[in-house]
């Protein structure tokens, strides 16, 4: 596992700013594994990432039913939601190894896909919600890749963080 850092996202603008800061670091054949409970903001982050990659944010939707969406951006983006995958067969049926060539693969609920557990060449992001619009984002970069320059609080202009109960 590579370097990791935790960033506080004060609100939706913080999530958008976070997406803009990491998007330039994402390359073809990268995997981005998005952990976090329901409503923690995984799909919302994907929407901002696709926009930051030059794609159409409005094209982004939760692929819970379709299992996988494809978006056109600076590099092709494959968006998987593993919530409904219950066995290896489901994952294999996606044919991701072929599809991923030259693109970015983003997976929500990666813990449901055993094959992804030990992927050392993946970006891992764990989002946590505290009830309001604030989120904590723990980012791990792929082995051998530099950590993006991230301030501890986003947006950088946000006022001092509200104390957690």
Ligand X SMILES: Nc1ncnc2c1ncn2[C@@H]1O[C@H](COP(=O)(O)OP(=O)(O)OP(=O)(O)O)[C@@H](O)[C@H]1O
Sheet arrangement for strand 68-71: 68-71, 77-81, 104-108, 31-35, 122-129, 135-140, 4-9, 153-154
* Number of chain positions touching ligand X (CB under 6 A): 17
Q: State yes or no: residue 161 binds ligand X (CB under 6 A).
A: no
- The interface partner of residue 69, options being Mg ion, ligand X, none and the CB cut-off 5 to 8 Å by kind, is none
| Touching ligand X, residues 92-151 (CB under 6 A) | 108, 133, 135
- Is the CB of 44 or the CB of 53 nearer to ligand X? 44
Q: State yes or no: residue 62 binds ligand X (CB under 6 A).
A: yes
**Stretch near ligand X under the rule CB under 6 A, chosen from 8-16, 52-60, 139-147, 153-161:** 8-16
Q: Structure tokens of 136?
A: 């904590």
Q: Cα(94)–Cα(91) distance, rounded to whole angstroms?
A: 5
**Stretch near Mg ion under the rule CB under 5 A, chosen from 12-20, 41-49, 88-96, 154-162:** 41-49
Give CA separation, 117 vs 37, 41, 120, in Å: 17, 21, 9
- The interface partner of residue 40, options being ligand X, Mg ion, none and the CB cut-off 5 to 8 Å by kind, is ligand X
| Touching Mg ion, residues 81-110 (CB under 5 A) | 108
Residues in the site for Mg ion, rule: CB under 5 A? 42-43, 62, 108
């Amino acid at each position: 596992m590579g370097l990791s850092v935790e960033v506080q996202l004060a609100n939706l603008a913080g999530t958008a700013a976070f997406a803009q800061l990491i998007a330039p670091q994402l390359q073809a054949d990268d995997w981005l594994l998005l952990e976090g409970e329901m409503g923690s903001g995984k799909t919302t982050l994907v929407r901002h990432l696709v926009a930051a990659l030059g794609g159409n944010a409005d094209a982004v939707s939760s692929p819970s039913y379709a299992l996988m969406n494809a978006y056109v951006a600076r590099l092709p983006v494959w968006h998987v939601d593993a919530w409904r995958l219950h066995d290896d067969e489901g994952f294999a049926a996606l044919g991701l190894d072929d599809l991923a060539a030259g693109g970015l693969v983003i997976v929500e609920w990666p813990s449901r896909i055993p094959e992804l557990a030990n992927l050392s060449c993946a970006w891992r992001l764990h989002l946590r919600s505290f009830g309001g619009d604030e989120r904590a984002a723990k980012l791990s970069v792929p082995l051998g890749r530099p950590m993006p320059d991230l301030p501890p609080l986003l947006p950088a202009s946000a006022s001092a963080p509200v104390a957690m109960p």
